[in-house]
Structure 1
C-alpha cells in the first residue's frame, strides 16, 4: 500500500511522535512536591542561629572584644576652654577674712633745728656752708674725702675727681651754680633716716623722704626755692623728688651730694 507523502500528512505525523516522547519523559522523572510562596522564601533565606552556651565564640568576635579602645586626641591647648555648662568654674571659697589693709605710712618728721643732729653732723654741715658761700669750689676738696671715704657726687662712675665732676655739672666753668644749689639745699629742713642701720643718715632736703602729693602750700614754696615749677611737674610725674640732695653720716662723713634718680 502506498503511503501519502503530502506536507500536511508529514506535519501531523511529527506532532504525534513528539507528543509521545514528552509523555514518556514525564512518566520517567521523579515527582517534586509543590511549595507555597511563603515556604519558598523560608527555604531561600537562612537565619543564623545564636550559639549555645559553652560553645566557643567566633574568632572575629574574640578579636573585637580584645581590641584596645580607640582614644581620641586631645584638643589643641589654644582651644581648650572650660565648659560653663558641664564643668562650672570653681567658685572661690567664702571666708569671713577681710582683705588685709595696707598699713598707713608713718608721718615723716621734718627737722629744722640743727642742734638736734649729732655734733659731727653739725660741724660738717657748717664747713660745707662756709666753703660754698666763699664762691671757691676748691674749698670743698678737703671735705669731699679720698678713696673709700670719697663723697659720691655722681650717679655714674667717673675717673675725674669730685671737684672736677661738680664743675662739669655746673652751668658755669667755675662751679658757682653748683655752690649756690648746695647752699639752698642745706638751708631747708632735713630728715633722719635708717636709724640703727649701717645706712643711718641725715639727709637734706626733707623732700627726699616725703611724698610730693602730700606737700602743704608752705612746703611747696620751699621746694620751688630749689627747683622750677617745670621741674616740680616733672617730679610729680616721676613720683618723687629727684634733684640734688646731701647726706651726712652720724660720724660726720659727707656721704653724697648727687642729683638724679
Structure 2
C-alpha cells in the first residue's frame, strides 16, 4: 500500500524530470521577442516594404565602352529669344548676298542714245569747251529740275558750287573734267523704271574688279593710279559722273559716292 510519503517522492521525481526536459528544449530553440497581434502585423508590413525601398535606393551604374558614367549635367538655360517674343525678320528689300548683278549695258556710239539725251550732251560739251562756266547756268536748271552738283545740300547756286570744287577760281578745272567724263563711253541703267538714266563714264556703273585692261586705260585717263588704288580700297568708282534722263534732263554732275 502506497503511503503519502511515497506519493510525495513520486511527484517530486516527475517535476524534476519535466524541468530537465523543458530546460533542454528551451536551450535549443532561438529566442524571439514577444509581440502583440497589432505589432506583429506592423513588423510583417515593414518586412514586405523594405526590399522594394532598398532596391529603389540602390544606385544605378551605367557603363559605356568600359568608361565610368558621366556625372549628372545641369540643364541648359533657356534661349535669350523666347518663343513668345517677337523676332526681328530681315527686311524684304535687303539684297541677297549671292544675288546676281544685272549686266551693265555699255555704249560708245552716242547715236545709240535717244535724241533728247544727245542734244543735252552736245550743249554741255559746247559750254564746257568755251572755258566760261557761266554758260552752264541755263543748262543746270532751277527748282525741282535743278541739276545736283554736290552730295551735300548748299544754299549756293550750282555754278558757285562748281567753282568752289575747282582748283582754280574760275572753274576751268571742273570744265575740263566735265569734258573728259563726257568723252568716255556711257551706260544705260534702270531702263523702264523711274531711275532710267544714261550715265557717263560707264565704269561708274561697273564693279572695278570686272574692268578689262582697255577699260582700265579709259579709267586712268580720268584719274591717277593712286586714285584708282583708293577706289579699289573704297570698293567702287567715286570720281565725277554725269547723268541725263531719257527726256534730256541733266540730272546730276557729282563726285563721291
Both structures adopt the same fold (TM-score exceeding 0.5) = yes
Q: Name the counterpart of 2:11.
A: none
Normalising by structure 1, report the TM-score. Answer: 0.64
Question: 2:230 is matched with which residue: 220, 227, 234?
Answer: 234
1:129 aligns with 2:121: no
1:91-130 equivalence runs, <5 A: 105=101, 107-130=103-126
In 1, the alpha carbon distance for the partners of 2:155 and 2:173 equals: 22
Q: Is the Cα–Cα contact under 8 Å of residues 133 and 175 in structure 2 kept in the other structure? A: yes
Q: In the alignment, what sits opposite 1:49?
A: 44
Q: Give the counterpart of 1:146 among 125, 142, 146.
A: 142
- State which of 174, 178, 182 in structure 2 corresponds to 1:178: 174
CA contact (8 A) 2:129 2:175 kept: yes
CA distance in 2, matches of 1:37, 1:259: 120
Q: Report the number of matched residues.
A: 188
How far the C-alpha of 1:109 sits from its partner, in A, is 3.0
Q: 1:173 to 1:107 in 2, by over 3 A?
A: same
CA root-mean-square deviation = 3.0
Which runs of 5 or more structure 2 residues have no equivalent in the other structure? 1-18, 47-73, 80-97
Residue 7 of structure 2: aligned partner: none
TM-score (structure 2 length as normaliser): 0.65
- In the alignment, structure 1 segments of 5+ residues that lack a partner are 1-30, 52-73, 80-101
Structure 2 residue aligned with 1:218: 214
Q: CA deviation at 1:44?
A: 7.0
Select the structure of larger CA radius of gyration: 1
